[in-house]
Every structure is written in structure tokens, then in C-alpha cells.
A = this chain, B = another copy of it.
Amino acid sequence: MTDTVISSASKEVVIGFDRPFVMIGERINPTGRKLLAEEMKNGDFTRVVSDAMAQVEAGAQMLDVNAGIPLADEPALLVRAIKEVQAVTDVPISIDSSIVEALEAAIEVYDGKPLINSVTGEEEVLERVLPFVAKHGAAVVAISNDETGISEDPNVRFEVAKKIVHRAADYGIPAADVVVDPLVMPIGAMGTAGRQVFALLGRLRNELGVNTTCGASNVSFGLPARHHITGNFLSMAIASGMTSAIMSPLHQEVKDCVMAADVMMGHDQNCAAWIAAKRDPAAGGGAGGARRRGGRRRAGAAI
């Protein structure tokens, strides 16, 4: 049983084997969002703020914050985004960048214990990221690729994850503070993507004892009715042991699957969150009607 505690100044969220699944809002990310990218580059963070509030209102227990804009000063933008989000919400943050300097700058201004997203198995990245994760007592997302790229062999991905967990230990970072991302490929491009991840999740939990996360939306890339695919991927991944995901709580189909999966895992005590969200007869029990009640906070994850 592994608990990963992430916090803001006033709130702790625990990612853990025997706890409700932790939804990390994916929305604050300028990749593929031209307008948001333009605004952030021009110093306008109103959309960052409104996206933060909307996701928390929809049930996100944490928020991923990414400021990856080509040719922009990413460390400065990420620092600003973190400050803006922390000013309006109390949920803990996953600080997301592939630029080490940006992660390092953002962790300095973050109030609480963040999740640093991410470190890979590449030697240079390990050696640069793990020291400041350790120094700040943060948690870190470990992505199971290395210098050779992303292996299609799940055994290789497992070995990369294991190497990161062991290396983190060398820096004094416990396995409980390493959240492994097994890497989820689009199922439309690779039919084995799902089964690989489900098998990997079991090994990561049973053999490494670590919590897990992923960028969930990627799995349904290019498919019609993709939120149904993403949602069912999530419930199947939860059955296989996944304990958190960077995802969209704003899509009712996706959120319904996570909530139903919590019920099925026995992590929604007495089905209280499900019943609270669905029992209003006006909501009709369907996705459309229930959307109006999406703002209800899920019980049990925040301590």
C-alpha cells in the first residue's frame, strides 16, 4: 500500500492504492491551443485562471500546469502560471515541463509539495531533475522512456521505470514519491497499446510498489466519440491498478467512467459520491442531464 502525498499551502491530496482515483486536470496546457498560447505569451493569464477554476469546479483534485510555448521564455511563463493558479485555487499542482530550467524555476515559487512532471530515464535528465526534487522534498512523475526513445516492449518500459525508482532512491527520494507514467499510445495506431499498459500497471504496482499516472486523452487520438474510449480506458486502467491520471474532468463521459470505477473498486464508500452526483431525478442519470451537477466535489480523496 503506497500513498503519495501532494500538497498546496492548505490542502493535501493522497494518491494511493486504496483510495479514490485522483483526477489531475489536463486543461492548462498551450500545446494545440493557439489562443491560450498567444495570450500566455502576451502576459494574459485570465484563461489560465478560468480553466483552473472550471476544472476544480468539475472535480479535479489536482491541476497539471504546462507553459510549453515554442520560442517563449518558458521558465518565466511557468512561474507566472503557477502563481496565478495558486492564487485562485487550493488544489495541489503537477508542474509540467520538458524544460528542466522551467521545472526548477517553478518549484522555487510553488507553495506546498508539488508533483514534478516529469523525469525520464535519460541520464542527463535524471542527474539534473532528481537533485532539486530531493532538495524540495517533492514528488516526481517518472516517464518510462530513455535515450533510446519509447520502447514498444513493455518489459523495456518496466526496466526504465525501475531504473528511475532506484536512481531516485539514491537521491533519498522514496518510491512513494515516484509516480510512474507507463506511457499510453493511441489505440487507433497500436492495437496492443491497451493491453501493454494494463499489464505494466500490474507490474508497477506489485513489483515496484509505486503509484501511477498517465496522460489519458492520448489513447483515443483520432477516433470518433473519443471521450467514451478515454473513459473506458481509464476504468480498465483503474481495474489494472492505476491510481491517478492527467485527464479532463470537464468531459462528463470521462468523469462518469472514473466515478463508476471508484464505485466498482470499493473506493467510493457506500457509493456516496455516485449517489450524490446522480440521484437528482432532474439529472436523469444520463450524461447530458448530469452535466449540470458536474461541479459537485468527489468525496474522499482530499484529506
| Nearest-Cβ distance from residue A154 to partner chain B, whole angstroms | 13
Inter-subunit contact B224/A264 (CB<8 Å): no
Which DSSP category, helix, strand, loop or mixed, fits chain A's interface?
helix
Chain A, range 229-245, C-beta contacts under 8 Å to B: 229, 231-233, 235-240
Q: Does A260 belong to the interface (CB within 8 Å)? A: yes
Let me know if A126 is at the binding interface, CB within 8 A: no
B-chain residues with CB within 8 Å of residue A285 when the two chains form the complex: 224-228
Which residues of B sit under 8 angstroms from A228, Cβ to Cβ?
A: 256-257, 260, 278, 285
- A232–B288 alpha-carbon span in the complex (Å): 18
Residues of B within 8 A of A231 (CB): 260
Smallest Cβ-Cβ distance to A196: which chain B residue: B266
Given known contacts A266-B191, A287-B287, A224 and B275 CB-to-CB distance under 8 angstroms? yes
Whether the pair A224, B278 counts as a contact (CB closer than 8 A) is: yes
Which residue of B has the minimal Cβ distance to A224? B278
Nearest 5 Cβ contacts at the A-B interface: A225-B285, A236-B239, A232-B260, A191-B266, A194-B264
Q: Measuring CB to CB, which residues of chain A are less than 8 angstroms from any residue of chain B?
A: 187-188, 191-195, 198, 219, 223-229, 231-233, 235-240, 253, 256-257, 260-261, 263-266, 269-271, 274-275, 278-279, 285-288, 290
Additional A-B contact list (6), CB under 8 Å, known A224-B278, A286-B287: A194-B266, A219-B264, A223-B274, A228-B256, A233-B260, A236-B264
What are 26 A-B interface contacts by the 8 Å CB criterion? A187-B263, A193-B266, A194-B263, A194-B264, A198-B239, A223-B278, A224-B274, A224-B279, A225-B278, A226-B285, A227-B285, A228-B256, A228-B278, A228-B285, A232-B232, A232-B256, A232-B257, A232-B263, A233-B264, A235-B236, A235-B257, A236-B261, A236-B264, A239-B239, A240-B240, A288-B288
